[in-house]
Amino acid sequence: MSDFLNWVAGLNPFVQVLLVVVAFLAVFAIILFFVEIAPRRGRLYTGIRLAVCLAAPLLLMLLFGSVLWAAALAAVLGGVFFVLDYRAKAGAGYLFQLVGFLGPAMLLLAIGLIYPSIKTIFDSMHSGRGNFIGIDNYVWIFTQPAAFRTVINTIVWVLIVPTLSTIFGLAYAVFIDKSRGERVFKALVFMPMAISFVGASIIWRFVYAARPADQEQIGLLNQVVVWFGGEPVQFLQNSPWNTFFLIVVLIWIQTGFAMVVLSAAIKGVPADQMEAAELDGTNAWQRFVNVTVPGIRNALIVVLTTISIASLKVFDIVRTMTAGANETSVIANEMYTQFKTFELGRSAAFAVVLFLLVMPIVIYNARQLKKQKEIR
Q: How confident is the model over 246-262, as pLDDT tens digits?
A: 999 999 999 999 999 99
Same domain, 76 and 199: no
Quote the pLDDT of residue 155: 92
Q: What percent of the chain has pLDDT over 90?
A: 18
Q: What string of DSSP letters covers 224-261? A: HHHHTT-----TTTSTTHHHHHHHHHHHHHHHHHHHHH
Q: 87: domain range?
A: 38-102
Residue 33 lies in a domain: no
Residue 117 lies in a domain: no
Same domain, 77 and 164: no
Same domain, 221 and 145: yes
Residue 127 lies in a domain: no
Same domain, 286 and 228: yes
Same domain, 306 and 364: yes
pTM higher than the cut 0.85:
no
Structural domain total, the chain = 2
Q: Report the alpha-carbon distance of residue 183 to residue 180 in Å, rounded.
A: 8
Quote the pLDDT of residue 291: 86
Residue of higher predicted confidence among 46 and 144: 144
Query: Taking 70 as the threshold, does the pLDDT of residue 65 lie above it?
Result: no
Query: Taking 70 as the threshold, does the pLDDT of residue 136 lie above it?
Result: yes
Q: 75, 102, 129: which is the final residue of a domain?
A: 102
pLDDT band at 84 (very low <50, low <70, confident <90, very high): low
Residue 176 lies in a domain: yes
Q: Residue range 45-71: average pLDDT?
A: 66
Query: Taking 60 as the threshold, does the pLDDT of residue 264 lie above it?
Result: yes
- Evaluate the CA torsion angle 207, 208, 211, 213 in order and state its sign: positive
Quote the pLDDT of residue 161: 94
Same domain, 303 and 369: yes
Any bridge partners for residue 132, and if so which?
126
Residue 48 lies in a domain: yes
Same domain, 94 and 168: no
Query: Taking 90 as the threshold, does the pLDDT of residue 162 lie above it?
Result: yes
Quote the pLDDT of residue 204: 92
**pLDDT tens digits, one per residue of 333-360:** 999 998 888 888 899 999 999 988 888 8
Q: Report the alpha-carbon distance of residue 290 to residue 297 in Å, rounded.
A: 11
Give the Å distances, CA to CA, from 74 to 23, 50, 70. Answer: 23, 13, 6
Residue 29 lies in a domain: no
Same domain, 80 and 227: no
Same domain, 149 and 67: no
Residue 20 lies in a domain: no
Quote the pLDDT of residue 160: 94
Query: Taking 80 as the threshold, does the pLDDT of residue 33 lie above it?
Result: no
Q: Report the alpha-carbon distance of residue 79 to residue 89 in Å, rounded.
A: 18
Same domain, 83 and 193: no
Q: What percent of the chain has pLDDT over 70?
A: 79
Q: Residue range 215-244: average pLDDT?
A: 86
Across all residues in the chain, what is the average pLDDT? 81
Task: State residue 126 phi and psi, 5-degree precision.
Answer: -125, 155
CA gyration radius, the chain = 29
Same domain, 65 and 204: no
Looking at residue 258, which CATH number applies to its domain?
1.10.3720.10
Burial bucket for residue 78 (CB in 10 Å: 0-12, 13-18, 19+): buried
Cβ within 8 Å of residue 210, ≥6 positions away:
217, 219, 222, 232, 233, 234, 235
Residue 114 lies in a domain: no
Nearest alpha carbon to residue 125 among 341, 345, 338: 345
Q: Report the alpha-carbon distance of residue 244 to residue 156 in Å, rounded.
A: 9
pLDDT band at 369 (very low <50, low <70, confident <90, very high): confident
Q: What string of DSSP letters covers 140-187? A: HHHHSHHHHHHHHHHHHHHHHHHHHHHHHHHHHHHHHTT-TTHHHHHH
Quote the pLDDT of residue 357: 87
Same domain, 75 and 188: no
